[in-house]
Amino acid sequence: MIDVREVANKKELKTFVKFPFGLYKGSKYWVPPIIKDELETFDKDKNPAFLDAEARFFLAYRGGKIVGRVAAIVNWIEVKEQKLSKMRFGWFDMIDDLEVSGALLAKVAEIGQTHKLEYMEGPVGFSNLDKVGVLTEGFDHIGTMITWYNHPYYEKHLIHHGLVKEKEYLENKFPFENVKPKFFERVQNLVKKRYQLRELNFTKTKDIMPYVDQMFDLFNESYASLASFVPINDIQKAYFKERYLNFINPEFIKFVVDKDDKLVAFAIVMPSFAEALQKMKGKLFPFGIFHLLKARKKPKNITFYLIGVHPEYQNKGLTAILFMEYYLTFTEKGIETCIRTPELIENTAIHQLWKHFEPVTHKRRKTYKKNL
């Protein structure tokens, strides 16, 4: 018999966070989170996502032993303003036992029905800025800091319990040697001249700070048309600045501004922290921080995290400016592999953007839904 219990205190929440460490012990591909950061993600007093969302955390027990976990989430902006009657679930992990996964999903469904929501979908986080999707292909590739890794049986469990595919995402990568400046050097010169634009590069994080709020505003404008997009508010801006900006090498943040110094395009690239995180085993101290700093300073692999272009400038070649600047930086830094974050399979515009670099799809992931 499976006993599903709600996390009731900080000790149990830490147990919730640490459950996958045992489930994936010895895996060459699972990338552990930083335990301290994961706990802060679930802290109502620290994560501004809780201003517009609620989450409950559950552990599944059999004979006193923990055999699974799940987070049940309601994003009230999504439900009340966007009229998406969705019960979210994420941080979904379990042993290969259908009784365990069934009990966890039943608990999510129960909460969704209590709120009179129409369907449940997952794995997803609090919003579109969080990790997404169950891995369905690419189990022999190392994970990333910003995606979930899972065993191959997860998808079978979701299908067995009556969930059906809702969204599919591709993860692509390409060797940096595939990047040829001939595809964008001439275009970027023409675009800069025609629209009176210039690039901004950085070597110090403090020099980025005056532009960060503009960047988040531009992010909101760039992605507003996407389905279920929830804009970043001022409190979240401050949170993301404090939590994430120091992870990123300032040389990997590129901006494009107009003649009035208004930000019209940006891109954020992160060093690949996967191997550093594996060495850290979830702990920043005493030595984990040094693995992170080394990966930040001398990465061989990088992940394209975000690209945003103001709606007035979309489809006008501004990405050529960003690509040119990254080409110069990556050449200097000796970057070997470029990895892209999960992208919706139907997002043909983004796939067209990268086509000249001959990317290879090395992972696929999906979200699954079930009517309540």
Same structural domain for residues 142 and 188?
no
Q: In the beta sheet, which residues pair with residue 254?
A: 267
The top-scoring range by mean pLDDT among 18-27, 43-52, 204-213, 293-302 is 18-27
- Cα separation, 77 vs 52, in Å, equals 6
Domain ends where: 170, 203, 227? 170
Same structural domain for residues 84 and 213?
no
Q: What does the pLDDT read at residue 361?
A: 97
Model confidence pTM above 0.85: yes
Contacts of 337 (CB under 8 A, 6+ apart): 173, 174, 175, 176, 272, 300, 301, 302
Q: Tell me the average pLDDT of the chain.
A: 93
Does any domain span residue 372? no
* CATH code of the domain covering residue 253: 3.40.630.30
Is the model's pLDDT at 242 over the cut of 80? no
Domain ends where: 170, 198, 213? 170
Same structural domain for residues 50 and 182?
no
Domain ends where: 170, 186, 212? 170
For 42, the domain range is 3-170
Same structural domain for residues 335 and 235?
yes
Q: What does the pLDDT read at residue 228?
A: 61
Does any domain span residue 215? yes
- Cα separation, 351 vs 358, in Å, equals 10
Q: What does the pLDDT read at residue 245?
A: 78
What percent of the chain lies above the pLDDT cut of 90?
A: 75
Is the model's pLDDT at 222 over the cut of 90? no
Query: 118 φ, ψ to 5°?
Result: -90, -30
- The closest of 17, 157, 36 to 91, measured between CA atoms, is 17
Does any domain span residue 113? yes
* CA-CA-CA-CA torsion sign (356, 357, 358, 363): negative
What percent of the chain lies above the pLDDT cut of 70?
A: 99
Q: Tally Cβ neighbours within 10 Å of residue 286.
A: 7
In which residue are the tokens 């365990």 written? 100
